[in-house]
Amino acid sequence: MIEQLRQRLLALQRAPGIEDTPKPLSMGIPAIDTVLGGGLMCGALHEIAATSESHFTAATGFALGLTVLSAPSPRLFWIAEDMALAESGVPHGAGLDAFGLAPERLVITSVAHRRDLLWAMEEALRCRTVNTVIGEMRAGGLDGVAVRRLSLAAAESDTLALLLRAVPPTDASTAATRWIVGAAPSAIMYRPGMPRVAAQLVRNRRGQVGSWILEWSDSDGRFILATHAQPVAAPALDRPHRQVA
Amino acid sequence: MLSLWLRRLSTDRIARSRERFSPLAVTGRRGNAEVLTAVDDAAEKLGLLSGLALTQARAMHPNIATVAEDAEADAALLESIADWCLRYTPLVACDAPDGLLLDISGCTHLYGGEHELIADLAARLENAGFAYSIAIAGTIGAAWAAAHYGEPTSYACGEERALLASLSLCALRLPPATVAGLARVGLKRIGDIIGLPRAPLTARFGPEVLRQLDRALGHEHEPLTPRIPVAPYAAEQRFAEPIAREEDVLAITERLARRLKFALERRSDGARRIELALFRTDGVVRRIAAGTSRPLRDPDEIRSLFVERLTALAGALDPGFGFDMARLSVIVAEPCPPEQIGIGGREDKAELCRLVDRLSARLGPRRVRRLIAQDSHIPEVAETVLPAQAVDDDAGWPAFRRYRNEVELSPRPLRLLARPEPIEAVAEVPDGPPLRFRWRRALHEVIAAEGPERIEGAWWSEHGGPARDYFRVEDKNGLRFWLFRAGLYRDLAQGTTPTWFLHGTFA
């Protein structure tokens, strides 16, 4: 009897984004997938922050890359604060299309207040036909309760929730992962190359953190691990010689 | 047909809003003179009439209170009274400047008959403090004549001829010059011209006289132009006890929607725009409208739309002492053939539409948008955003893809600024990309560039602007921008430098 109650309590206490969902979203890069425990959790909230405001489009690119990975032809709800759209520009259909995201499957919603942003995100997350919801906000804190509500809504419908922030947040997060993303210089000289971002996983509820340079391949519609300009120690997890046979 | 004349609209408006002055006159400028444009009962008893010069009036009665006229406020008041009259009939027309026309055919039984309707209207106007004169007759002309020149409340259905015969010719709504001309030949009452031969009358005074007479007698039809288009579907409910709580409003919305559903189903229609009108006990009418992205019939969904609308309004609903009537009307209806539910694809679409409707209801339809590809090569015109409720799924994008593949369009930015922002740029060679540039006060050193891609301005239009040379550049930190130089070097005047703009950013 006690044991049964304990089981039920455990089930109730499970944090969203932690429990095993059937199909984590594979990034297509074994190193990252291992750190993430098989891939990015689909029905969970992930925070993506730009290293600084000027790197906001790089963070946008990373979020869009995850969106393309989330479903064969993903339906995306992009909810942004008015200021974010005015400062950083509105999503450009031709650019999105080249990125691998059909503009006709995108709905852009602009909101005046943070309160409306969170409400609209939650509404969109509860809709099962939406694959990904991107919420875009300028600087400023977030209520922990609101973040948890979003996580729960995402878990309920198995929708990918991405919170795009203009500056690295200082508040503690209950999101499944938190990334800090900036632009990375192209490998080729004299000519801007493929979209390339330096993605830093600074918080991961399922394990290790890490830092990678990723290049978006338009033709394949996936991320490719680019060579790092500086040597970086491999994440502690990825050390085969330390593993017990 | 019911004609309502608010004889003292201007003075009643002032008397309602301030402490009572009496006698009261409203003044305005006519030509070069300041004249009385409206007077109240007390002033009229003193012999002051509208049209009298203000100086003369002051000389007669130094203690009259005068207020400057405000035609807009009068018109707004008349419109709000017209809205309020929607409780009697959906067909209400404004008869400027101080009257209303109501087509009450088929509506009177709700009040127990024409006389009872007049009594109800009169009692409510009395309470609100308006001087009124109401007449019901078979035609607009006769009702108008009876209201303006007959008893304060009169009923003359079927007796239009007898009623009109005794009234002055002014009651036919003729220009004053025509009336004066008729009076000069001894024709003063309508009865005088009813029996006269038509041809000489028309020859001398124009066709207007007989047309107005025919209209008043019902020989010729006179159209009524309602102030608000009549909704194709409407359901209403009156309450014995006024309601004020939001839950009650929502419950009644659902009940009315349930009633509308049958009517909509019968004609295979669905609602695209729905309006809820709430009539407050003190005469104020609240209208709340909600749009939908596809024809809708389901009462639960209609209810959920109004949940969002009411939340968005927050305190603005202001029930005051409560609402005593509610009407739900479908303003725009579209055919909505009955469809099978439960098959994957359609259901998905419906769920998305529901989400779009909910967001639009709460945030406003202009905030929930879709990108639409336009037939243009100029980047900021090539795409527009339209309310998601208004457009369908594929809006020009397949055509855009074909075009992109054909011309091998060079990369486009992920985010486009609302308008190109001017930057200070230094280029190494005249037609080349910039070496460094300053945008939003930050200096960017360009290390890699691609271009130019020349995009010609709309040369066929005066406001087309110059050609642009676009460059894709990358700075030292790996940030990628889409810049352009406005105009070509060879077109520049001697000694001037070209202007550069930043238009978008790449990931």
A211's tokens: 């830092």
Rounded mean pLDDT, A210-228? 85
Q: Using CB atoms, pick whichever of A61, A109, A127 lies closest to residue B414.
A: A61
pLDDT tops 60 at residue B304: yes
What would the mean pLDDT of B291-303 be, rounded to a whole number?
87
pLDDT of residue A17: 47
| C-beta separation of A19 from A215 below 8 A | no
Checking if the pLDDT of B494 tops 90, the result is: no
Q: Which among B371, B442, B450 has CB closest to A54?
A: B442
Percent of chain B with pLDDT over 90: 15
Whether residues B359 and A192 touch (CB distance < 8 A) is answered with: no
Cβ <8 Å between B409 and A182: no
Closest CA to A43 of A59, A63, A27, A19: A19
Per-residue pLDDT, averaged over B423-444, amounts to: 89
User: Which range, A122-136, A230-244, B98-112, is most confident?
Assistant: A122-136
Q: Give the tens place of pLDDT for each residue, A41-77.
A: 888 999 999 999 999 999 999 999 999 998 888 899 9
User: Is the pLDDT assigned to residue A156 strictly greater than 90?
Assistant: no
Question: How far is it, in rounded angstroms, from Cα B257 to Cα B304?
Answer: 11
Tell me the three state secondary structure of residue B336. coil
Residue spans of alpha helices (H) in B206-293: 207-217, 246-266
> Is B506 in Cβ contact with A97 (below 8 Å)?
no
Residue with tokens 């409910």: B237
Dihedral sign for Cα B254, B257, B262, B266, please: negative
**Structure token pair of residue B104:** 């009450």
Rounded to whole angstroms, the Cα distance separating A174 from A191 reads: 40
Report yes or no: B478 and B459 within 8 Å, Cβ to Cβ.
no
What ipTM is given for this predicted complex? 0.84
Whether cis (ω within 30° of 0) applies to the bond prior to B23 is yes
Task: Please tell me which residue of chain B has the smallest CA distance to A59.
Answer: B507
Compute CA distances B322 → B81, B89, B252, B257, B317, whole Å: 18, 21, 14, 21, 11
Q: Do B412 and A75 touch (CB under 8 A)?
A: no
Contact B382 A94 (CB under 8 A): yes
Is residue A112 over pLDDT 80?
yes
Q: Of A88, A104, A192, which has the smallest distance from its Cβ to B415's Cβ?
A: A88
Secondary structure string (H, E, C) spanning A109-126: EEECCHHHHHHHHHHHHH
Dihedrals phi, psi of B491, to nearest 5 degrees: -90, -10
- Return the pLDDT at A92: 93
Asked if pLDDT for residue B60 goes beyond 70, the answer is: yes
Report pLDDT for A61: 94
Tokens standing for residue B411: 């990369």
Mean pLDDT of the region B217-228: 86
Residue of chain A whose Cα is closest to the Cα of B506: A57
Q: What is chain A's alpha carbon radius of gyration, rounded to the nearest angstrom?
A: 18
- From the list A98, A107, A197, the residue facing B412 with the nearest CB is A98
Residues B22-31 pLDDT 10s:
788 888 888 8
Q: How far apart are CA A141 and CA B68, in angstroms?
A: 54
Mean of pLDDT over chain A: 84
CA-nearest of A82, A77, A36 to A161 is A77
**DSSP code of A209?**
-
Q: Which of A64, A66, A92, A214 to mutate to test the interface with B (most CBs of B within 10 A)?
A: A92
- Which DSSP category does B69 fall into? -
Q: In Å, how far from its chain's centre is CA A49? A: 9
The pLDDT assigned to A66 comes to: 92
CA distances B255 to B184, B288, B294, B300, B325, Å, are 63, 16, 21, 10, 13
Evaluate if residue B471 carries a pLDDT over 90.
yes
Q: Are B352 and A127 an interchain contact pair (Cβ–Cβ within 8 Å)?
A: yes
Distances (CA, A) of B328 to A44, A63, B136, B331, B360: 41, 43, 28, 9, 19
Q: What is the pLDDT of residues B369-394, one digit of tens each?
A: 998 888 888 888 888 888 888 876 66
Report the run of H or E that residue B405 belongs to, with start and end: helix B397-407
Residue B421: predicted pLDDT: 93
Is A183 within 8 Å of B472 when comparing Cβ atoms? no
Compute CA distances B120 → B66, B115, B139, B154, B219, whole Å. 33, 9, 21, 14, 31
Task: Select the residue of A90, A109, A188 nearest B363 (Cβ to Cβ).
Answer: A109
Rounded Cα distance, B505 and B446, in Å: 14
Angstrom distance (rounded) from CA B452 to CA B448: 13
Q: Measure A6 CA to nearest chain B CA, in Å.
A: 38
3 state SS for B231-253: CCEEEEEEEEEEECCHHHHHHHH
Q: How confident is the model at residue B340 (pLDDT cuts 50, 70, 90)?
A: low
* pLDDT exceeds cutoff 60 at B343: no
pLDDT at residue B341 is higher than 80: no
Which range among A167-176, A233-242, B156-165 shows the weakest confidence by mean pLDDT?
A233-242
Q: Chain B: nearest CA to A156, how far in angstroms? A: 16
The rounded mean pLDDT for chain B is: 86
Question: Could you give phi then psi for residue B496, rounded to 5 degrees?
Answer: -100, 155
The number of C-beta contacts closer than 8 angstroms across A and B is 182
| Residues B461 and B453: beta-carbon distance below 8 Å | no
Pairwise pLDDT comparison (A84 vs B159), residue with the higher score: A84
Q: Do A64 and B507 touch (CB under 8 A)?
A: yes
**pLDDT score at A121:** 93
Q: Which residues of B touch A104 (CB under 8 A)?
A: 370-371, 393-395, 397
Cross-chain residue pair A89–B505, CB shorter than 8 Å: yes
Q: Using one digit for the tens of pLDDT, what is the confidence trace for B310-332?
A: 888 877 778 888 898 899 999 88
A187: closest chain B residue by CA: B478
Measure the CA–CA gap between B175 and B118, rounded to whole angstroms: 30
Measured in degrees and rounded to the nearest 5, phi and psi for residue A162 equal -120, 125
pLDDT at B258: 92
The position carrying tokens 């190494």 is B428
Task: At A189, give phi and psi (nearest 5°).
Answer: -85, 155
Residues of chain B contacting A54 with CB distance shorter than 8 Å: 442, 477, 479
Is residue B399 over pLDDT 80? Answer: yes
Strand A45-50 and strand A160-165: the pairing is parallel
Of B356, B362, B474, the CB nearest to A192: B474
pLDDT, greater one: B191 or A187: B191
Give the chain A residue whose CA is nearest to the CA of B449: A191
Q: In what order do the strands lie in the sheet with B33-39?
A: B33-39, B24-30, B65-68
Contact A129 B348 (CB under 8 A): yes
Asked whether the beta carbons of residue B363 and residue A186 sit closer than 8 angstroms, the reply is no
Q: Which residues of B touch A129 (CB under 8 A)?
A: 348-349, 351-352, 355
Ordered DSSP codes for A6-51: HHHHHHHHPPTTTSPPS--B--S-HHHHHHTTSSB-SSSEEEEEES
Pick the more confident residue, B218 or A162: A162
Of B385, B450, B506, the CB nearest to A195: B506
Best to test chain B binding among A51, A52, A77, A104 (most B CBs inside 10 Å): A104
pTM of the entire structure?
0.75
What does the DSSP assignment read for B17-46?
HSPPPSSEEEEEEETTEEEEEEE-HHHHHT
Report the percent of chain B where pLDDT is more than 70: 96
Q: How close, in Å, is residue A97 to chain B by CA atoms?
A: 8
**A245 band by pLDDT with thresholds 50, 70 and 90:** very low
Which ranges constitute the DSSP H helices of B292-391? 299-313, 344-363, 379-382
- CA-CA distances (angstroms) from residue A129 to A35, A76, A160, B203, B236? 29, 9, 12, 74, 36
CB atoms near residue B464 (< 10 Å): 12
